[in-house]
A and B are shown apart, each in its own frame.
Chain A
């Protein structure tokens, strides 16, 4: 079902964990749909280079693997470069995902953006092309929310 790359990143996820006093933290997804992704960024305020990136994810194999790959792909990049990270690029780097799992790769892109948004808010800066993240990337996918 999954490519070898996906399985490798699932079984040996890179950059799992938290960054204390992170420059930016972003959480996307929701537990109802079975996937939540949280990304921590450590950003150099002078150079805007992402020095470190860590993640925590609740979700399936694809969600964990895309989180892991996304953190690898933004580490060492500038904010501007990280902004160019797309879910498609993450998917390609993982040698593809099954069609039902494509939405997991959206989470990774959104989580990076959400963490950058948090950084921008804290530092009162504007990042070109960055929009306020949706609190829930599944917004609009369902008709009505059920309460438990």
Chain B
């Protein structure tokens, strides 16, 4: 096998060398516990403080509004469960969407089943953009929280966050956004967008795995989710993951510094990818919004073929990608996101997601599209659905 072409950056990213470099001293040199009193430990504490500042700056937030967690899923769980708990005297209704990550959807299901919450799952349009009129109509006097992801992890659709923030504010409802895919890819300012809580994860933006944070606007009164020590202003117990936090700070700073140039390049390669696929492969559909999409997201469905087969074939050529087919989700149903944008099951099964990085070149895109053409026609030649389709056309 030749070189690997990694097109699964929505799953995880390579930790940037400068991030690793920033982290390393915190394993073997400045390994003190930030809570300890002696001078040696103050170095660790400084590392955490600096990272908190780097992240706060990246969001236009205050330092004390950033709470480190073990990742995006923990931040999502915390935001939903703790808000429900803290605001239950006001109401028990939460509004979210049908295309959220499972960290939100499964938490909502838990709150519904075990805690008596009422959840409204708002529809999205065929491009995967939340329907604002439906969202506003869903608001009741019992509504305590709106949680809408910033950008979708599968189809890359970027949501009208500013508008949702304004709706939430107008009705006096808290607004949480899962920005795991968006942070570092699109500019975010929590004040300008009216965001009260925001979840994020380090390894999606060239930071380390196992570290995330929840931004909690000052005044939002949610409590601790993990009980124990007094870390994170008594809101998240557990000795800080100092190297992880330092790495996340460095990654956030780097993501903001490189955003303009990096995403411009990604958009160019992304659009080249999409253009060639749409022009050169028949019976294909672009999933997600044509322009309001993450700079690095390509998601297409090929009719008559199944996604996992495509991934295995691509893997042969060293190409790493993902699919929303049932066979990759371990169930009989394809991705809930693809169904929510109205794709019939058989077309959802034939989806392919390729998420680029700044290292993805035009040559990579050309290589992958060339191989895809072969793979798609090979699998179609084997497909009874294609056979039936062709026969029908002849008649």
Residues of A within 8 A of B (CB): 7, 10-11, 13, 16, 18, 27, 31-38, 56-64, 100-101, 138, 141-142, 146, 148
Contacts of A32 in B (CB 8 A): 345-346
Please classify the interface of chain B as helix (H, G, I), strand (E, B), loop, or mixed, using the class held by over half of its residues. helix
Known: A10-B312, A16-B382, A60-B308. 20 other contacts (CB 8 A): A11-B312, A13-B382, A27-B384, A31-B345, A31-B385, A33-B345, A34-B326, A34-B345, A36-B384, A36-B385, A37-B384, A57-B384, A58-B305, A58-B306, A58-B382, A58-B383, A61-B312, A61-B327, A63-B327, A101-B327
CB A10 to nearest CB in B, in angstroms, measures 6
A–B Cβ pairs within 8 angstroms, 9 of them: A27-B384, A31-B385, A32-B346, A35-B306, A56-B382, A56-B383, A56-B387, A58-B304, A148-B344
Write the nearest CB–CB distance from A138 to chain B, whole angstroms.
Answer: 7
A138 partner residues in chain B, CB cutoff 8 A: 332
- In contact, A31 and B387 (Cβ under 8 angstroms): no
- Count of chain B residues with a beta carbon within 8 Å of a chain A beta carbon: 27
Q: Which residue of B lies closest to A27 (CB)?
A: B384
- Complex: chain A residue closest to B323, CB-CB: A60
Asked whether A58 lies within 8 Å of B308 as measured between CB atoms, the reply is no
Q: How far is the CA of A10 from the CA of B308 in the complex (A)?
A: 11
Q: Which residue of B lies closest to A10 (CB)?
A: B312
A34–B350 CA distance with the chains assembled, in angstroms: 9
Contact assessment for A57 and B382 in the assembled complex, using a CB-CB cutoff below 8 Å: yes
Q: In the complex where A60-B308, A61-B309 touch, is A34 in contact with B384 (Cβ < 8 A)?
A: no
Interface centre among B304, B312, B349, B381 (most CB of A within 10 A): B312
Chain B contacts with A in 293-339, Cβ cutoff 8 A: 304-309, 312-313, 316, 325-327, 330, 332, 334
Cross-chain contact B308 with A56 (CB below 8 angstroms): no
Taking a contact as CB atoms under 8 Å apart, the answer to whether A11 and B316 are in contact is yes
Q: Tell me whether A34 and B327 are in contact (CB under 8 A).
A: yes
**Known contacts A11-B316, A38-B384: A59-B327 contact under CB 8 Å:** yes
State in angstroms the CA–CA spacing of A101 and B331 once bound together.
Answer: 10
Least CB distance from B93 to A in Å reads 27
